[in-house]
Amino acid sequence: MSKEPSENKMVKRSPIVCIMGHIDHGKSTLLDYIRKTNIVDTEAGGITQRISAYEVIHKMSSGKEEKITFLDTPGHESFGAMRICGTTIADIAVLIVSAEEGVKKQTMEALKCIIDGNIPYVVAINKIDRPDANVEKTKNSLVENGIYIEGFGGSIPYVPISAKTGQGIEELMDMIILVAEMSELKKDLSKRAEGIILEANLDKQKGITATIVIKDGKLENGMFVVCGDKIAPTRIMENFLGKKITEAEASSPVRIIGFDKLPKVGSPFQSFYDKKEAEKFISEEKEKNKKVIIKKYDMEESPDEIYIRIMIKAEVAGSIDAIEHELNKIKSDKVKIKIVGAGIGDISENDVKLASGRNPAIIIGFDVGIDSTSKDLAERSNVEIKIFDIIYKVSEWLQEEVEKKTPKVMVEETTAKVKVLKVFSSMKDKHVIGGRVENGMVSVGQEAKIMRKEVEIGKGKIKELQKDKEKVGEVREGVEFGCQFQSEITPAPGDKLEIFITVEK
């Protein structure tokens, strides 16, 4: 019999925070500073094996003490792994940006994960102690990249900090607590614990261990934690300091020793009071997955549109739903994504046969394998197979495929305008003219449209340029020049030459 408590105990819980951004902008330095200054020496000395999450007690300016859980993950890819099956492990993100370099590509990749995770975030402008730091320039860089901070047309809070000296760290911690209070984070202590697997490994002495982060409920000694078809008793539980504990509540990182198989990082877990109840849950989940052997989709195709056909194979049904959700975010007027089927388990010969044909589908595998026979058949049938282990990587790859298949059009773009002042001579298709650059820059070899009263009457090419009777390669805005212009049409004084380039879009 389970001993499920009946009384509802909704109370405030502490925030779980992930620090993200460019690898060189100070994430590790910030985490190290927070760890060293907020965990007392006697406790810090007890950390025998560092794990990827820890709790700190922050004293607010009001004197009130607040707990914060920090996640120490390698970067946005790990954060992406935390979103498998649509679950986000963090409540708040800190987007760290260097005051020397501003927003970089990795900054925007991290921001995409934060936005996809639908969590609030704080911008930490780091390295303000450096000689080349320019906070105002960094603020402008943020706004230019669509990160609208407070005071610059938006509501995203920001704090200038130095992770090296500690300047601004207290203010950053205060801001995190303020954002947490606005989010009204709650935990129900009457519930059995549930959350996410943060890391898992095989310890030669202890066996299979996993670090979990509890998102809701309470975990106690004597319970059983289940992740997929993996199970562990909670006989041996440790906090982030490596100290044995008998219970833990939401927002806490806990190391559990004794899983029967290695659980998958980023996967959700549930807990049960009774082993039979836990085993029944595992059995029911297996049966549920068996029923989703193949899922077919009906979608009519238009002859006027281009389609990318996709078949999804995943380890569990929840991953199929998460991949579908990611694919639905990809929008294109010219190219459509069509899911032709989805199923549970490794990629088989039958999957390859279903995907092949006159217009073969691409098989996307998520955390699944493929045997050599199926792989050989795919090569012979011209069926492409892509295997992933991070959800958002699927959508990133498919977005690139959509861009590759989008039909390109050639577009003429005006780069400069010239006013024709005088025509000195004309012989067949060669004309010597004088002109003035009204805007842009004119170079030898460029093409131009001849515009008369805003109507195009012909096209030509700049064959030679002269300035002050000397040959030059280019002429800039505001300068008068002479040139040899090749065209079937003779320009006239007052005409405009629109210099253009042809680009593919």
Residue given tokens 């030898």 in the structure block: 444
Does 300-405 match 194-291 at the fold level? no
- Provide the pairing of β-strand 218-220 with 247-249: antiparallel
For 147, the token pair is 């990160």
Where does residue 134 rank: exposed (0-12), middle (13-18), buried (19+ CB within 10 A)?
Answer: middle
Instruction: Give 349's Cβ-side CA count (13 Å radius).
Output: 5
Q: What CATH code would you report for 10-187?
A: 3.40.50.300
What homologous superfamily is domain 194-291 in, according to CATH?
A: Translation factors (2.40.30.10)
Please list the pLDDT of the chain residue by residue as tens digits (505 residues): 344 444 567 899 999 998 888 878 888 888 888 888 766 444 444 333 445 788 999 988 788 899 999 987 544 444 555 444 334 788 999 999 999 999 998 888 888 888 877 889 999 999 999 999 999 999 999 999 999 999 888 899 999 999 999 999 999 999 999 999 999 999 999 999 999 888 888 878 889 999 999 999 999 999 999 998 899 999 999 998 889 999 999 999 999 999 999 888 778 899 999 999 999 999 888 777 665 545 555 556 677 778 888 999 887 767 787 788 778 888 887 888 888 888 888 898 988 988 887 788 899 998 888 988 999 999 998 899 999 877 778 888 888 888 888 877 788 899 999 999 999 999 989 999 999 999 999 999 999 999 999 999 999 999 999 999 899 999 999 999 999 999 999 999 999 999 999 887 7
In this structure, how many other beta carbons lie within 10 angstroms of the beta carbon of residue 92? Answer: 22
**Secondary structure string (H, E, C) spanning 390-456:** CHHHHHHHHHHHHHHHCCCCEEEEEEEEEEEEEEEEEECCEEEEEEEEEECEEECCCEEEEEECCEE
- How many whole angstroms separate alpha carbon 317 and alpha carbon 278? 19
Alpha helices in 292-345 (DSSP H): 317-327
> Chain centroid to CA 59: how far?
33
The domain segmentation of the chain, as residue ranges, is 10-187, 194-291, 300-405, 410-504
- Do 165 and 171 touch, CB atoms closer than 8 A? no
Where does residue 153 rank: exposed (0-12), middle (13-18), buried (19+ CB within 10 A)?
Answer: exposed
Fold of 300-405: Rossmann fold (3.40.50)
For 33, the token pair is 């500073």
As its CATH architecture, domain 410-504 has Beta Barrel (2.40)
**pTM surpassing 0.85?**
no
